[in-house]
Amino acid sequence: MVKVKICGLQTIADVEAVNRAMPDYAGFIFVPGRRRYIEPGEAERIRRHLSPGIRSVGVFLNAPIEMILSVLEAVNLDVIQLHGEESNACIRELRKCLSGKFPGAEYLIIKAFRVVEQEDLEPARHSEADLILLDAGAGGGKTFDWQLIGDMERPYFLAGGLRPENVRAAIGKLHPYGVDVSSGVETGGRKDPEKIRHFMINARGTL
């Protein structure tokens, strides 16, 4: 069954809507200056209301490792998503620092890649992250040319421009490991419980 990630949670109401839908992952944006940015302390306050069956994700963009470690100390996250130009060397260093700072803890690392042309998929194929995410990268809920993906050999999250109306077709065409949505389940810049519900129905077939 395809995994579902709802990203950009900011309020208790967002968490309550996500809890009713029960996706696999829920994301918090720790990128200062972005509209959905949330302070780590506030993220932890609302994360405590998240259903135990939903894994919490912290999204970072070219953040210093020290900042990532600081957020992990403040917020009880399960997954780290790197959404910038982080290299394999950075991922290796991050893993080393994680094992030193949090011995025994296991963090899943997702690395996002912007897909504009087919060549953009090569770094994704060779990424040392646990999972990859393929995105339009332009913001504003835009899709990219899905034909560029071709036969991607490794599991990936599909992101960018997904909505309740097109997620079923995307899954049927591409068979991704997971789908990631944020603005596609919002109305007026806020998470919309009905859109979240319909996204889950169309992604999973049942709710």
Q: What Å distances lie between residue 121 and 22, 116, 159, 176, 179, CA to CA?
A: 30, 9, 14, 14, 17
Predicted confidence at residue 204, as pLDDT, reads 87
**3 state SS of 136:** coil
**3 state SS of 50:** coil
Q: Which residue has the tokens 């490794």?
A: 154
Task: Decide if pLDDT at 20 tops 90.
Answer: yes
Residue 81: band (very low, low, confident or very high) from pLDDT cuts 50, 70, 90: very high
Task: Decide if pLDDT at 169 tops 50.
Answer: yes
Q: Which residue has the tokens 């839908």?
A: 21
Determine contact, residues 201/183, Cβ cutoff 8 Å: no
* Domain span including residue 167: 3-204
What total number of domains does the chain contain? 1
Predicted confidence at residue 205, as pLDDT, reads 76
Query: What angle, rounded to 10 degrees, do the helices at 193-204 and 12-21 form?
Result: 30
Q: Which helix (H) or strand (E) holds 58?
A: strand 55-60
Task: Decide if pLDDT at 179 tops 50.
Answer: yes
Predicted confidence at residue 144, as pLDDT, reads 83
**3 state SS of 131:** strand
Report how far residue 5's alpha carbon sits from residue 181's, in angstroms, rounded to the nearest whole number: 6
CATH number of domain containing 191: 3.20.20.70
Tell me what percent of the residues of the chain surpass a pLDDT of 90.
85
Question: pLDDT by residue (tens digit) across 193-205?
Answer: 999 999 999 998 7
Q: What share of the chain is helix, strand, coil (3-state, %, to 5)?
A: 35, 20, 45
Q: Which two tokens stand for residue 177?
A: 């490991």
Question: pLDDT by residue (tens digit) across 91-137?
Answer: 999 999 999 999 999 999 999 999 988 888 999 999 999 999 999 86
User: What residue type is assigned to position 133 of the chain?
Assistant: L
Residue 140: band (very low, low, confident or very high) from pLDDT cuts 50, 70, 90: low
Which residues does the annotation mark as catalytic? 7, 135
* Mean pLDDT of the 131-149 span: 80
